[in-house]
Structure 1
Amino acid sequence: MFAPDLTARHVAGKDITLEQRAFGAYLGLAVGDALGATTEFLTPREIREKHGVHDRICGGGWLRLKPGQVTDDTEMSLALGQSIIESGKVEAKAVAEAFSQWMRGKPVDIGNTVRRGIVHYRNSGETSVPENKFDAGNGACMRSLPVAIAYWNAGWDKLFVASRTQSHITHHNGQADAGTEALLQMLCMAFKNASKQALFDIANGLVENHRVYRFDRRQVENPSGWIVETLQAVFQSFFNNDDFESVLVDVVNRGGDADTTGAIAGMLAGAFYGVDAIPGYWLKALNKDVKAACHGQTLALLKLADMSG
């Protein structure tokens, strides 16, 4: 395990409020999704040839998106968040129904594992797919932010139960569970004003328990939908850059599953640096309805966390 320079410049400001961090995470997710969708499935060389350094929310990509449009990463997060708000907790059947309704809306993109999980629920009524050692995709991790906001101060045990409840609807895999839970811990600690060193310690703990997640200075390029490569790329970009914009530009220019690496890096950097650290030109380019939904859900999920706590 390498040790990045985690000096005072990496310590988040203590004057950033919980609401600013949670809203920053939600907008960061959407911004990273919209930014990364343009370079999804491209190689770093192809990105350089086409965009130079890709740093604008301009749509396009293989999905031919409108500028500011988001993909399944943000849409599934919002579906999960709304389910939590309406149920008062992560309730398996309510979440499964929310995902099913989302798929009925013919989303612009949907992962194969997610599709199979939703179809399994529709056909069987079961809210957990069978455990599968080959389903270590990033599809449950990418949508997990609402769990972190609603359970930010509930304790790790409750957080992990809630995480697996939503995850196992589509992804039932120990490797994916471990990565998703580590990310949720990092988000919750960022909400509590933790230093970047404290977040690095959580990532390092994940590596100690699951060596496959080891990340070093050799940059992961073309990260796939495998959660291990996704989080390796996210950790490298987050721990080796000093501001929100640099983290996002770094990770989406690696190509591969760039909308999801962008979304996860965005939520983590947004939680750490706060909403005011997100460049205004990215926020201006983001779909207005998405921005409004992220704000409304942030407030409602934090209120729910206060009531539950």
Structure 2
Amino acid sequence: MFRAGSVSNGLAAEPHTLQRCIAAYLGLAIGDALGATVEFMTPTEIRHEYGVHREITGGGWLRLKAGEITDDTEMSLALGDAILSAGKVEPVSIATAFSDWMRGKPKDIGNTVRRGIVQFRRTGQTAMPEGEHDAGNGACMRCLPVIIATLRQSLPEVVQASRLQAHITHNNPLSDAGTECILHMTQAAILGEPLAELEILAQQLAQRFPVFEYRKSQRDNPSGYIVDTLQAVFQALFATDSFEAALLDVVNRGGDADTTGAILGMVAGAYYGLDGIPTRWLQTLDNPTRLHCIEQARSLYQLATQGHSP
């Protein structure tokens, strides 16, 4: 049985970077499970129904059980398993894992994701053509396994790995830029950088692509467009001072709340660490999912640190 504090206490002797990798995984799943309840609701509807949505209760349009996760976490785990099986970020293995996942009839799947998987099944190609309208958040929501697997690699290697997994379904400059920003921010958090350094990365993204500017007006009811998603994530992350406050901020904005919750959860989990994640959320998270997240984080960290000092 899961006990309060058992995750952090059991890992107290592990390297801090590994602890932060595990916290990023658990943050991803918790954000997904918390946000799924209010996905597609507006902030006004959330306030009317919940006041402030604070607990992992399931329900929502997918009629989830309390602690159940959606495609955000499921695709992340499929991606991580494929990386571990191949020993590297290898697109055929990843596309095959995504295809197998879709064959299992997941409870939710985005149209762009479905189209990319169908192309792979039909042609064997592991990269979609660049698409003007493919700037969704589907590649970003599942990028955590790449973040950990490439933790000790050079910047060009990290970018290449990110695009190998992303372009299976999402090939768009804004999707690439947003995903790579989250990748670099989460790696920085895992390695112990302060929040100010993470915000510099967000500001650099907005300088390169002004559409991502997040400091002017609050992004409520964010859609699945990567720009909407990251504006909400950045605003919540940089305006708060705890994992719980940041996650509550972003999911109570409604819209694509399972994905904003998942992305915010992975970054904030890496930054605030295991001790920053509320015990009540850890207790409610589906137990097989929690164990899969912990084991996969550990295995990817071991893959990343082979031949390196931890």
The normalised TM-score by structure 2 is 0.94
Task: Confirm whether residue 214 of structure 1 aligns to residue 213 of structure 2.
Answer: yes
Note if contact 1:153-1:188 (Cα within 8 Å) is conserved in structure 2. no
Could you tell me which runs of 5 or more consecutive residues in structure 1 were left unpaired when the two chains were aligned. 1-14
- The residue that corresponds to 1:299 in the other structure is 298
Q: Distance in 2 between matches of 1:161 and 1:36?
A: 30
- Residues 142-291 of structure 1 mapped to structure 2, 5 A cutoff: 142-291=141-290
- The residue that corresponds to 2:123 in the other structure is 124
Q: Which amino acid aligns with 1:233?
A: A
Distance 1:145 1:308, change over 3 A: farther
SS in 2 for 1:140: helix
Residues 58-88 of structure 1, C-alpha deviations (whole Å, 9 max, x = no match): 0000000000000000000000000011111
Residues 225-249 of structure 1, C-alpha deviations (whole Å, 9 max, x = no match): 0000000000000000000000000
Give the Å deviation of 1:22. Answer: 0.5
Residues 96-137 of structure 1, C-alpha deviations (whole Å, 9 max, x = no match): 000000000000100000000000100111000111011000
Q: Distance in 1 between matches of 2:151 and 2:223?
A: 29
Q: Which amino acid aligns with 1:225?
A: G
Task: Confirm whether residue 97 of structure 1 aligns to residue 96 of structure 2.
Answer: yes
The normalised TM-score by structure 1 is 0.94
Give the Å deviation of 1:216. Answer: 1.2
Q: Which amino acid aligns with 2:45?
A: E
Give the Å deviation of 1:217. Answer: 4.8
Residues 134-175 of structure 1, C-alpha deviations (whole Å, 9 max, x = no match): 100000000000100111121211111000000000000011
Q: Distance in 2 between matches of 1:51 and 1:241?
A: 21
Could you tell me which runs of 5 or more consecutive residues in structure 2 were left unpaired when the two chains were aligned. 1-13
Distance 1:202 1:102, change over 3 A: same
Q: Which amino acid aligns with 1:42?
A: M
Note if contact 1:16-1:274 (Cα within 8 Å) is conserved in structure 2. no
Give the Å deviation of 1:275. Answer: 1.3
Q: Distance in 2 between matches of 1:308 and 1:31?
A: 32
Q: Distance in 2 between matches of 1:178 and 1:218?
A: 21
Q: Distance in 2 between matches of 1:143 and 1:276?
A: 23
SS in 2 for 1:265: helix
Q: Distance in 2 between matches of 1:218 and 1:212?
A: 13
Q: Distance in 1 between matches of 2:155 and 2:38?
A: 35
Give the Å deviation of 1:308. Answer: 6.2
Structure 1: 4+ residue segments shifted above 4 A:
none
- The residue that corresponds to 1:18 in the other structure is 17
- The residue that corresponds to 2:59 in the other structure is 60
Q: Distance in 2 between matches of 1:247 and 1:217?
A: 18
